Structure 1
């Protein structure tokens, strides 16, 4: 049996996605052209995310609708807040399955390539090239909890608090939703006493490597999970280079990528 394509949406995933989509009623008197099915359009969006293909080159024979139809539906669903809610729902499923570990979190912020957009800036470490940064926080096992976007000229440490605050409240168990990890791990790029105090103020213990000290602290043994998560996230070709001018569309792809990583982990559970 042939392995399904990564952009194929099975019934189980669609059962999670469909209730989050805004309902659009057709006009009775002047209904106009019938709206292309949401499930097929969602697969078209996933096709672009996985392959990195330009919208206008989306193959019509796949039946996903035109590239413009998929882009408009992506913008519509982004405005409705679908992708963060999808990510949050899947995190709750993972927590209910005891597959989410808040005992510690890890953060990192590498540079993707960039073609344009407001949240860009000249990188101080990449020969002054204009770029954006993806900032990611994962749980202890590498499940993405939140991702943010900034200009390439922003220091990683300035995005530490926004990243922690971007973690949604995660249900899945009785009692209050879980939002904060017990500990956050960071490399020397996050070394600043001011931000250590701010992290403590959120009720999180910062474990961050100090500049000017020898390597070999052992943090890398625990932080590799966020680097692996970035490898998975940038495995989606649309995220390797930022093609979107609009920040919200690129951020939509980031949130959708995180949600799909969570879904893969969920379906792989015994």
Structure 2
């Protein structure tokens, strides 16, 4: 059997701030590999460096030294413009605070990434049809014309996931995706992430909650900027049986 494709590879990754006596090492010689189709949690106490690491993996920041190879491309020294291009084309983000534009409806929020993709459908009708298909796949077709303020927290996070799916990213990065949700909504969002993982999506999730990390198949523990442990998750999370939803990648 052929080895799985490497989506993330970091080699002696370093991120420092300041210099001399004021130097702070946020990420200290971290080397990790995450292959296609993995569901990985990054955990660590406040100030451990996990958020800095996540920012580098998300192409929101650049390492001070070391290498970050994303889907076979060394992006360590890319310009901010090049990193923005990669974020728009290859990465999908799910945030704790949803990051929906408040004056846009659910379907308009989902359509937004297509505005920055010249290779995607160019007519408004094509974009709307594509966004409606993805919204329907996450169970929100009937809420397409609602503003974020008219949706529950769980529904807003579903819109955010739909916005991710419309770009068919190679990597989904979730930063505390259940942090603002109640228990029931958290379970529903994790079920959706499991659905995506079951269909072959690569997901990296930052969380401080052990019960949320238990959903993943591998946990990276960061402490004092270093990779403290990298372990297979021994938990066997039994998902509730939900109505199947169509989350096939959106091919154009």
Q: Return the index of the structure with the highest Cα Rg.
A: 1
Same structural fold, with TM-score higher than 0.5 when normalized by the shorter chain: no
Q: Tell me the TM-score range normalised by the shorter chain.
A: under 0.3
Q: Structure 1 or 2: larger strand share?
A: 2
Relative to the length of structure 1, the TM-score reads: 0.25
Q: Structure 1 or 2: larger helix share?
A: 1
Relative to the length of structure 2, the TM-score reads: 0.27
